[in-house]
Structure 1
Amino acid sequence: MTDDHKYLESLIQSADIDKTIEVLADTGYDSNNTYIILENKGIKATIAPPKSAKTSYTQPRSDTINYIKEKGYHVERNKNKYGRREIVENTIYRYKSIIGAKLRSRKWDNQDVETLLGCHILNKMTNLGMPQSLKLT
């Protein structure tokens, strides 16, 4: 088993680096090296440090840890809108439970199409199932 943060560079290389402005990650990605990699690429790091984290030599990480010590964990989460990560996690869970956790296609291009089709299906189902709220006068 490998730590999440060891995969960061390969994940960034597979992403469109010109469009990546922020990495929103959980505690598994918290490390000095993660902050250095992201800072060198001009990407903002929004990463929850563990509760036992101590200040470090990377300034953004130390700033986050000090802010949490001063204001509290929940204030820092609200400041950075960290709840967005939970929304993404919930969406991935929904995708896996409805569409499936494994891709059926073997070729990369077909996997792209399969994933895109799954997202369209999930979006359609979500839009169909959302209630419309009306204000009664």
Structure 2
Amino acid sequence: MPFKHNAYRRHRIGKMKFKVTNWREYETGLRRRGSLTLWVTPEALSSWRAPKRTTRGGQPRYSDLAIETALTLGLVFGLRLRQTEGFLTSVLKLIGLDFAVPDHTTLSRRASKRKAPNKRHDDRIPEKGPVHVLIDSTGLQVYGAGQWLEEKHGVKSRRAWRKLHLALDADSSDIIAHVMTDRDAGDASQVEPLLDQIDMPIAQFTADGAYDGEPTYAAVIRHTADAEVVIPPRANAVERQHDDPTNQRNQHIATINADGRMKWQAATGYGKRSLVETAIGRYKSIIGGRLRARSFAAQQTEVALSCAVLNRMLACARSKSVRLKFAIA
């Protein structure tokens, strides 16, 4: 990989330095992320109770908005369901609202039944032209002892890992699509489910070598015919002679063979892929690297709300930085 070049003398190479140009606004936004100030709109107040059911079955007491509000507050402040119930009760009391709060049993049950739309639509993400999509995946631990039991007692743990696949907008760093699977799902197999959630055309699709292969190229081209796909081919990859001469993978292989990976990386803008790794680090530092919910359906709800929370926090504080010309070693 390119980052391994000059590894033997890397300690002598000065690190790149960046300067934040909007530090005052960025610092204010960072403080806003921890603010307890809440605004409750009249529409939200009228929608707290579930609408009257017109079909057969029991009448739910709380709307999806009430359940989502409680679960979101629990995620932001790192609370379990019982503590979330108490926290929301005290907040509503402080702002003078005499509303019933969902109990922890209701929150647990309704989290497993939350219906997510097939296509993700977020009002905070503006509709714009073609986007530069960055894709990567990471592992999330299921709540429990897990590997500790396996290492301590030598027994196979029933706990498992989940895999979170993210699609990021390179310009705004917003999470525009996400999919959670079990740990055995391949990265390339989730490209199409991620692209199905993106309504905007794609200008460039960038991913690491785990996504290399014709199925990924085909999925991106089906979504946007003129999209540019930037994926580093394997070290032993060869051009396919029977393919179309305009095949992007063949062009990448030819360029790397002629100029080397470092020049190919600079020419294609592959370095921007680090932004999705930064987003994964942001997810694990703010939300955490472990899922709290037990059932798979509830874990999907937890991940969906976590991505929405991160987008809201990022909207509060977004830094603008420039690279310094002369790095100090």
Q: Same fold (TM over 0.5)?
A: yes
Comparing 37-46 with 24-33, greater Cα deviation is found at 37-46
Greater strand content: 2
- Is 1:23 matched up with 2:205? yes
- Is 1:83 matched up with 2:271? yes
Q: Is the 8 Å Cα contact of residues 27 and 48 (structure 1) preserved in structure 2?
A: yes
SS of the aligned residue for 2:237 comes to coil
Aligned to 2:173: none
Q: Is the 8 Å Cα contact of residues 204 and 228 (structure 2) preserved in structure 1?
A: yes
Selected match of 1:8 from 173, 191, 199: 191
Q: Is the 8 Å Cα contact of residues 27 and 47 (structure 1) preserved in structure 2?
A: yes
Q: Which consecutive residues of structure 1, in runs of 5 or more, have no partner in the other structure?
A: none
Aligned to 2:234: 50
Q: TM-score, normalised by structure 2?
A: 0.34
4+ residue segments displaced more than 6 Å: 107-110
Which whole-Å CA distance do the structure 2 matches of 1:109 and 1:117 have between them? 12
* Equivalent pairs, count: 128
Deviation per residue, 1:20-49 (Å, 9 max, x gap): 332111111110222223223312211111
Alpha-carbon offset, residue 76 of structure 1: 0.6
Q: 1:117 to 1:4 in 2, by over 3 A?
A: closer
Structure label with greater radius of gyration? 2
The percentage of counterpart residues that share the same residue type is: 26
Q: 1:123 to 1:93 in 2, by over 3 A?
A: farther
Aligned to 2:282: 94
User: Relative contact order (C-alpha < 8 Å, sep 6+): which is higher?
Assistant: 2
Q: 1:108 to 1:31 in 2, by over 3 A?
A: closer
Greater helix content: 1
Q: Which consecutive residues of structure 2, in runs of 5 or more, have no partner in the other structure?
A: 1-183, 325-329
Q: 1:48 to 1:109 in 2, by over 3 A?
A: same
